[in-house]
Amino acid sequence: MTIYKILTYPDPFLKTVATPVTEFDEKLKEISDNMIETMYEKSGIGLAAVQIGFGKRLFVMDVTYNKELPESARNPMVIVNPEITESSEEQVNEEGCLSVPEFRAEVKRVGTISLKYQDVEGNEHTMEASGLKSICIQHEMDHLEGKLFIDYLPTLQRNMIRKKLKKRYA
Ligand code: NI
């Protein structure tokens, strides 16, 4: 297992618009497994491929993750080439991101979504998601468009975060 280095804002690669996954091979499986390990290592509930420098439309998530639970209670998902086909009312929630350490902010998202996606083997699925799961999916899908949750904030606030993180991770 490899624990990947997570790129932090303002790393320019985080602006990459990811391209669709077309090869469902062993390498993809290995990268997904390592991404899951990396996500747990960093106590995250989601991690997009762009965040580890892999520009493909893929993310991993486990919204039920809790440090206190045993490893057997983990329930990771690999979501490939996701597409939201339906969405409902809006919700506002506080979000954070492994690429923007220690900052949180309220972001407006749609509520319940219908998602079309592929698994790591290329099989097609659909699912309905609401609450935290829906927020997590929308947050990770933003990463695939080169977008971070702080892009929803006023410029002044985002610049302040950039300065602080640049200083800390330079
Ligand atoms: Ni994130």
Q: Is residue 7 one of the residues assigned to a domain?
A: no
- Tokens of residue 13, six digits: 């690669």
Structural domain range at position 82: 12-169
Q: Count of CB atoms within 10 A of residue 138's CB?
A: 21
Number of domains in the chain: 1
Q: Greatest CA span in the chain, whole angstroms? A: 44
Q: Is residue 6 one of the residues assigned to a domain?
A: no
Distance (Å) from CA 28 to ligand 1 centroid: 20
- The whole-angstrom separation of Cα 52 and Cα 6 is 5
Instruction: Assign residue 119 the CATH number of its domain.
Output: 3.90.45.10
> What pLDDT, on the 0 to 100 scale, is given for residue 73?
86
Query: Nearest-CA neighbor of 101 among 169, 30, 41, 33?
Result: 169
Give me the residues near ligand 1 (ion), CB cutoff below 5 Å: 97
Distance (Å) from CA 136 to ligand 1 centroid: 8
Q: Is residue 5 one of the residues assigned to a domain?
A: no
Residues acting as catalytic residues: 140
> What pLDDT, on the 0 to 100 scale, is given for residue 53?
98
Q: pLDDT averaged over consecutive 10-residue blocks of the chain (170 residues)?
A: 95 97 98 97 96 98 89 92 93 95 94 97 97 96 98 94 85
pTM reported for the whole predicted model: 0.94
